[in-house]
Amino acid sequence: MELRHLLYFKTVAEELHFTKAATKLFISQPPLSRQIKELEEELGVQLFFRNNKRVALTNAGKYFKNEIDTMFAKLEESKEVVRKIHEGVSGEFKIGYISSVYQSQLAEILKLMHQEFPYLKTSLFEVPTLAQITALEHGGLDVGILRAPVLSDKLKVESLFFDPFVVVLAGTDHKIDNQQELAAFLSKSPFIFFNKDFAPQYNQKLIEICQRMGFSPDITHEANNVHSILQLVEAGLGVSILPLSLKTQYAQLKVSFIELGSIPINTEVVLAYKESNNNPALNWFINHYAQLKID
């Protein structure tokens, strides 16, 4: 029994007409009838009732058709998997991100990505900007979601959005009427922020904002991720200055986010990757992630 015998049987079973099936298969009718006869003899069963007026499947033929349909469907699925493997959309796709990006957005993209590339394993790594740059340069990550600047001539950078800074205070009942009152309050408060060596650019943004408000921040507590900073603020251990996009992500916390409208300092969230990376999943990720906007 060869695959062509099964294809011939499947076509006749669908058409229930030998001449139409032969036309569809681009062969003449006598060879088709002969191939079906050979298949019946090999199986030792009659697959079709046939006379001059009609062709119909026997009970054995109906069962065999269901099995063959399943087999051909599996064959098509296997061909698709092989093509995807050949195209490089299987294996592992490694995504780096910083703790201060909107993670619900990332989760939404991963759901869509799984639908597009069902055989691709995605791995997430929460990594600070400087470590991401090194990992991207050496192939440890396929793409990174991080904050500018990305000081590397080996990477291509795509801008996603600009994120203004806000003051974060414990509690939700603060009544601060103007920037002068806010500056006076902050100048007397302990700050919770990232370590300078861990996030030097981020740390410099904080210093610049505070200097524009007329004081230098007293950084009393340091942490290496935004979750810890916000939890410490909520616990009343100090204040912080963080990106506005975190307000939606951490709306459940008992903290206040106070905007700094008069200070035009923001941070740019970007995608970074090696342009030489030809993985089709990378191009898809870049195009689709960039389409989502933070409200």
Could you tell me the CATH number of the domain that includes residue 140?
3.40.190.10
178 and 249 belong to one structural domain: yes
127 and 174 belong to one structural domain: no
63 and 190 belong to one structural domain: no
Q: How many domains does the chain have?
A: 3
170 and 259 belong to one structural domain: yes
Quickly state the pLDDT bin for 295 (edges 50, 70, 90).
Answer: very low
Crossing angle of helices 280-291 and 103-116, rounded to 10°: 140
Q: Residue 145 corresponds to which tokens in the numbers above?
A: 């979601």
Residues of the chain with pLDDT > 90: what percent? Answer: 46
Quickly state the pLDDT bin for 14 (edges 50, 70, 90).
Answer: very high
196 and 155 belong to one structural domain: no
Peptide bond into 149 cis (omega under 30): yes
96 and 185 belong to one structural domain: no
User: Mean pLDDT, to the nearest integer, of 229-252?
Assistant: 90
Model pLDDT, residue 87: 63
80 and 7 belong to one structural domain: yes
Q: Which domain-ending residue is among 34, 54, 86? A: 86
Spatial separation of the C-alpha atoms in residues 60 and 11, rounded to whole Å: 16
201 and 274 belong to one structural domain: no
180 and 244 belong to one structural domain: yes
For the chain, the farthest-separated pair of C-alpha atoms sits apart, in whole angstroms, at 101
Q: Which domain-ending residue is among 86, 103, 121? A: 86
Domain housing 13: 3-86
Q: CATH number of the domain that 22 lies in?
A: 1.10.10.10
User: Mean pLDDT, to the nearest integer, of 24-36?
Assistant: 91
15 and 143 belong to one structural domain: no
Q: Which domain-ending residue is among 86, 114, 131? A: 86
169 and 261 belong to one structural domain: yes
**235-262 CB burial, b ≥16 within 10 A, e <16:** eeebbbbbbbbbbebbeebebbbbebee
Quickly state the pLDDT bin for 143 (edges 50, 70, 90).
Answer: very high
Quickly state the pLDDT bin for 294 (edges 50, 70, 90).
Answer: very low
186 and 143 belong to one structural domain: no
Query: How confident is the model over 36-60, as pLDDT tens digits?
Result: 999 999 999 999 998 878 899 999 9
